[in-house]
Homo-oligomer: A and B are copies of this chain.
Amino acid sequence: MSYIREAWYPVVWADRVGRELTRHVVLEEPIVIYRLQDGGIAALQDSCPHRLAPLSLGRLKGDDIECGYHGMTFDCAGKCVLIPGQDIIPGRALVRAYPVQVKYGLVWLYMGDARNADPSKIFHIEQYDDPAWHAVQGDTLRIECNYLSLCDNLLDPAHVTFVHATTLGTPAGATVPVNNEYHGNEICVWRWIRNAEPIGVFAKFGGLTGMVDRWHYYNYSTPSYFKIDMGSCPTGSIPDMERRSEGTQMYTCHVLTPVDQRTVLQHWFHVRNFRTNEFEMDADLSASLDMAFREDKVILERIQLEEERAPDFKRIILGIDAAPMKMRRMVDKLIQAEAAPRPTA
């Protein structure tokens, strides 16, 4: 199995990147990340081409990295600028440098051909910078499962009733059918549950007490970006489903980093349109969301082990699997397109 490489992936929260050399792994590639003297961020292949020593074990000299084994030194573009004891620097003495962007508090790397690194392709949510909304940096959860299993999960309203019974779901939703919409490399799975109890998170933080109409819109786009629109309003108060922002609404955003075939990083944050000035509730709300995401982690890590134990298992397909299966076909198609020979210019 492979990955979509021509895409931006988030790797770490920008406020955790300093002048120390830190190692990360994205799409099975080890990468050393560090803060430059001008405040920028550099991302280099974390392998000295001489003996494979991780450059992250070396030393930062200005904006260059000196390998900790023999002192080969690379600038922040990956070019070798010094080999101690040797005047000639071989042409192959370089390490890959990854295009870097900072957006929504995260460091994003372009994992494909650097010439294709268009920052406009990074995950986007228009409410993030809208003064009527409040954005809160969440956290990163490391899950020991294939990233596609987490993608399945983030396209799946049906599990909410069972996995998140007290946080994001209530029994009322169990039998309401979902709608699936597909546009290019995007999927939206959504449903409204009418005249129901509010879910735990909205009851606690949104101040909703009576019966509500509530909705979930799970928006996916390749490679592994998710924007989940959850909200509620007093029963019957929003007749036009497109005017959801008049209700109590929150987007939880999940942008995933496939580390390897059995590890994924789930970076998440949220933006909300209620109590936008009450920063003191941010940590509480984040803690509730974190607890819910950890409920998924338990299930997903066990399923990973089961799949490894029974690789020939033939699963049965349910109606709720339509969107996850479509997502996997979208991913496969992009991977195959990348693998195809390109016409030369």
Contacts and interface: CB of A to CB of B under 8 A. Distances in A.
Contacts of A54: 302, 306
A69 interface: yes
Interface in A63-78: 66-72
B84 A303 contact: no
Contacts of A67: 162
Contact of A71 (B72, B174, B309): B174
Contact of A320 (B86, B177, B309, B320): B86
Interface string A153-171: 0001011011100000000
A309 B29 CA distance: 10
Contact of A49 (B159, B174, B303, B315): B315
A328 to B, nearest CB: 13
Nearest to A149: B51
Contact of A57 (B86, B299, B310): B299
A90 B47 contact: no
Contact of A69 (B49, B178, B299): B299
Given A50-B316, A69-B162, A310-B52, A85 B303 contact: no
Interface residues of A, number: 49
A141 interface: no
Nearest to A177: B85
A285 interface: no
Contact of A176 (B68, B85, B92, B307): B85
Contacts of A320: 70, 85-86
B71 A162 contact: yes
B318 A83 contact: yes
Interface in A213-244: none
B158 A315 contact: no
Contacts of A92: 316
A53 B306 contact: yes
Given A86-B319, A310-B47, A70 B303 contact: no
A175 interface: yes
Interface in A18-57: 30, 47, 49-54, 57
5 contacts: A52-B306, A66-B162, A69-B162, A69-B299, A86-B318
Interface of A: 30, 47, 49-54, 57, 66-72, 83-86, 90, 92-93, 156, 158-159, 161-163, 174-178, 298-299, 302-303, 306-307, 309-310, 313, 315-320
